[in-house]
Amino acid sequence: MSIFVDEHTMVIVQGLTGGQGRFHGLRNRAYGTKVVGGVRAGKGGQDVEGIPVFDTVADARAATGANASFVSVPPASAPDAVLEAAQAGIAFIVCITEGIPAQDEARMFNILRREHSGTRLLGPNCPGIISPGKTNIGITAGEIALPGGPVGIVSRSGTLTYQALHELKQKGIGVTTCVGIGGDPVPGTTFIDCLAAFEADPETSVVMLIGEIGGSEEEEAADFIAREMATPVVAYIAGVTAPPGRKMGHAGAIVSGTSGTAQAKMEALADAGVKVGLNPTEAGELAAELVAALPH
């Protein structure tokens, strides 16, 4: 199985008529994703290579039955785009937009939680989600992912998401679903959300978690793993050499004192029984070892 999305998911692209939305929306469709429409105010009635464009998400959903949205719009308008999708009843929203101010993210997240509890947001500032061989929503290159499982991946880092998929493919290991949750301070979907979904998925037998410095998400994930998970987990934490007090790449990747350091996260995960790799390749090797040990 896959988590959150599958081959039946029907996707609209908010921003399909823009450069990035068009490029990635068409790539998603070429992969096999059911991209059924696009949204851009003032351009309703047009199409992008056969994909109809609508003025509003509500119009697009009414006409297509879409249940997911891929938000590819600039930072200033991304929160409103996400909320428009939620208000229209879209159940799953992927927002790849980077650079949304943290205050705007927090406001958007709180409105979603308060008024649209049935909607799941992935991102912002994330590569999206891919269930190899079924659907791909976002900017992940589908050719680096091998279908079939038994590994599920959840990652804060976009680039390391791609490396994890490629490392496993090189070893002939498939992936049930790979979820890039993004590295911003206020993620719509957390490690724990994904870990719980993987634990409930009968086809995911090993989970790979990729974290990075900043915040306490990985420590919270370690506590959840220790209490709730029977599925074995491997992990890699980026940022071992990052200096304290300096933001590294993502808005959420900042270390304050001893809080949020790579070492503290690695220790918390190891204490929870997680096999922690010292680099992405080693994490892939550890995952391969766990896969090889699974009963056949």
- Is 250 considered catalytic here? yes
159: burial class by Cβ within 10 Å (0-12, 13-18, 19+)?
middle
Cis peptide before 295 (omega within 30 of 0): no
**Residue 81 and residue 103: Cα distance in Å, rounded?**
16
DSSP per-residue letters across the chain: --SS--TT-EEEEETTTSHHHHHHHHHHHHHT-EEEEEE-TT-TT-EETTEEEESSHHHHHHHH---EEEE---TTTHHHHHHHHHHTT-SEEEE------HHHHHHHHHHHHHH-TT-EEE-SS--EEEETTTEEEES--GGG--SS-EEEEEES-HHHHHHHHHHHHHTT-EEEEEEE--SSSS-SS-HHHHHHHHHH-TT--EEEEEEESSSSHHHHHHHHHHHH--S-EEEEEE-TTPPTT---SSTT---BTTBT-HHHHHHHHHHTT-EEESSHHHHHHHHHHHHHTS--
- Of the listed 8, 24, 250, 296, which one is catalytic? 250
Cis peptide before 124 (omega within 30 of 0): yes
Question: Which backbone phi and psi does 278 adopt, to 5 degrees?
Answer: -90, -10
User: Where in the sequence numbering do the catalytic residues fall?
Assistant: 250
